Structure 1
Amino acid sequence: MAEKLEKGPRKVIKKRGMNKVGRKPLYTEWITEEGLAKVENWAEEGLIGKQIAHNIGINHSTLYDWMNKFPELAEVIRRGRKVMDEQVENSLLKRAMGYQYEEDVLEPDEYGNLVVVKRVVKTEAPNTAAQIFWMKNRRPEEWRDKVDIANEHSGTIRIELGEQEKWSE
C-alpha cells in the first residue's frame, strides 16, 4: 500500500523584495557593451547566426529569440554583416570589371635566400560570370533567366502529327 505524503503548510513567496536565487540569465552577459562588441566582431568576420550562437554557447533559435527581444543585439549583428557584405560586393565588382595588381618576382641570392628582384604589374581580365551575377542581382527585370512572354494568340492552331491532324480552338 502506498504511503500518503503529508503536505506541510504552504509558504507564500512574495516576489517583491525577494532575494533571487540561481544564476543570471545568459543573455545578460551578451547585451553589455563588451558582449555586443564581440558579437558585432564575429558578424564582421562573416560568421553566420549558427556560428555566432555556438560561440555564445546557445542554440541558434535562441539567438533569433534574443534578437527579437533585444533590438541592440539585432542591430550589432546587422551592422557587422553589412561590413562583410560590402567587402564581398566590392570584391565581386572588382572581379567583374577586371583589375591590375603588383607582384614581386623572387629569385634566390648567392646564399639561397629568396629576394625580390623586380616588381611586375599583372592584369586580371574581367570575369564574365561575375558580370552576369552582378547584373542579375542589380537589374533582375532585364537580366533574369526566365522571360515572361504575353500570350497574344487568338484563333485556331493546327498541329500535324504525321498522318493525323488535330485542330484546337
Structure 2
Amino acid sequence: MTANKIRGTPIRREKIFLNKNNTRPNSARKIKTKKRRAVTWAKFNTAKNMMIVQSMCRKGWTNNEIADYIGISLSTFYKWQSEHVEFSEALKEPKEYCIARVENALLTRALGIEKKIHESETVTVEKDGKKVTTTTEKNSLCYYPPDTRAGIFYLTNRAGSDWKQKQQTEVTGNLSIDAAVNTEGRLKAAMERKKKE
C-alpha cells in the first residue's frame, strides 16, 4: 500500500472469517450475525410450539421478539398470522388475557387497595451456650388510597362518551357582519376630539 500525499495511508481492510455458526453478514458493520434457522410452517406447527408462543405472549413479548426467537423475519411472522388461524389464535388469546389483567389492576388502583400483610420474623439468640430461636408474627392492614389519575384514565377509555377529555360545544344561531363600516366619519370625529383637547 502506498501513501497518498493528501489522504495519508489507506485503511487496511481485514478479511472477515465466519464461524460455522455465523452466516455471511448483511453488511461490513454487522460482523456477528446469528444464523437463521430454516423454519417453515410445517416444521413449526406443533402443539408444543403453540404453547411456547402463548406463554411468550403472556409474559409480554413483542411480535419482533417472538419472531426472532422462532428464527423467522417479521414479515414471515405477519404472513403466518394472516394465513394460519391456529397461530393467530395462539397470539390473540394470551394478549387479551394480559389486557384483562392490566384492566383489573388499573381498576383496583383507581378504587383503592386494602391489603392484609402477614409478617414473621425469626431471631436466633445464644443463651447460656444454647441457641434459642424465637419467632414473632405480626398481622397488619395496609391501605393504598384511590389514585385519581388511574380513575380518570380508566373512565376516559371505558366510558368515553361521558368522560371525554376534549369538550365540544355547538353554537347555533345567525351571525351577521356589517361590512359597511364608516371609517371616514369615525376618523373625522377622532380628529375633532383631538383638536378640542
| TM more than 0.5 | yes
1:94 Cα deviation (Å)? 0.8
1:111 Cα deviation (Å)? 3.7
Identify the residue that residue 162 of structure 2 maps to in structure 1.
Answer: 142
SS at match of 1:141: coil
Identify the residue that residue 150 of structure 2 maps to in structure 1.
Answer: 130
Give the Cα–Cα distance (whole angstroms) in 2 for the partners of residues 138 and 84 of structure 1. 17
1:75 pairs with 2:95: no
* 1:102 counterpart (106, 116, 119): 116
2:39 touches 2:71 (CA, 8 Å); kept in 1?
no
Output one character per residue of 1:87-140: Cα deviation in whole Å (capped at 9) or x when no partner.
111111110111211224455624499955312011111111110011000111
Size of the aligned set, in residue pairs, is 137
1:136 touches 1:143 (CA, 8 Å); kept in 2?
yes
Provide TM-score, normalisation by structure 2: 0.61
- Change beyond 3 A, Cα 1:24–1:52: closer
State the superposition RMSD in angstroms.
2.8
Letter in 1 for 2:98: M
1:105 touches 1:119 (CA, 8 Å); kept in 2?
yes
* 2:138 counterpart (107, 110, 118): 118
* 1:62 counterpart (72, 76, 81): 76
Give the Cα–Cα distance (whole angstroms) in 1 for the partners of residues 101 and 85 of structure 2. 25
Identify the residue that residue 33 of structure 1 maps to in structure 2.
Answer: 47
For structure 1, which runs of at least 5 residues remain unmatched after alignment? Answer: 1-22, 159-164
For structure 2, which runs of at least 5 residues remain unmatched after alignment? Answer: 1-36, 127-132, 179-185, 187-197
Percent identity over paired residues: 26
Provide TM-score, normalisation by structure 1: 0.70
Q: Rg: which structure is higher?
A: 2
Give the Cα–Cα distance (whole angstroms) in 1 for the partners of residues 86 and 121 of structure 2. 53
